[in-house]
Amino acid sequence: MPAEIFIKRYFQLPRAEIGQLRFILESYDGLAFARTLDSATGLVEIACSPSRTGDVDALLQTLCEELGLQEAPLPEDIPPL
């Protein structure tokens, strides 16, 4: 059985909020996962299962307001996993 493909989106937020973002996502027990790509600029990758995108989108919308999360393109110099 092939592995499920994750949907990945990229965001920037204030550096001081990266830990809070990770804490919030972890509290939802597998809803989505965050990976810090560049801690200096606050660039993170958020990955989720395609079946959970509705829930993740709603949470991300709230986090945009609360943490200053802003969607960003993936820089070319950071290879995806």
CA-to-CA distance for 13 and 60, rounded, in angstroms?
A: 12
3-state secondary structure of 8: strand
Domain extent at residue 34: 7-71
CATH code of the domain covering residue 22: 3.30.1370
Within-domain flag for 53: yes
Within-domain flag for 60: yes
pTM of the full structure: 0.85
Within-domain flag for 46: yes
Within-domain flag for 80: no
Using pLDDT thresholds of 50, 70 and 90, give the confidence band for residue 27.
very high
CA-to-CA distance for 15 and 81, rounded, in angstroms?
A: 22
DSSP 26-60: HHTSSS-EEEEEETTTTEEEEEE-GGGHHHHHHHH
Is a pLDDT exceeding 50 seen at residue 1? no
pLDDT digits (tens, 9 = 90+) for 4-21: 689 999 999 999 999 999
CA distances (Å), origin 73, targets 29, 54, 60 = 26, 20, 16
Is a pLDDT exceeding 80 seen at residue 28? yes
Within-domain flag for 31: yes
Q: Domain total for the chain?
A: 1
pLDDT of amino acid 79: 61
Is a pLDDT exceeding 80 seen at residue 35? yes
